[in-house]
Amino acid sequence: MRVRRNVQRIRRELIFGTPKTTRSIRTISLPQRCARALGEHHAQQEQERKVAGGKWQPGPGQPAGLVFTTTHARVTDPRSLNRMLTILCRDAKV
Which pLDDT band holds residue 59 (cuts at 50, 70, 90)? confident
Predicted TM-score (pTM) of the model is 0.72
As a whole number of angstroms, the distance between CA 82 and CA 32 comes to 24
The DSSP element (H or E) to which 88 belongs, if any, is helix 78-91
Q: Is the dihedral of CA 82, 86, 87, 88 positive or negative?
A: positive
Task: Say what the pLDDT of residue 65 is.
Answer: 82
Please, what is the average pLDDT of the chain?
91
% of the chain exceeding 70 in pLDDT: 100
The span from the CA of 65 to the CA of 67, in Å, is 6
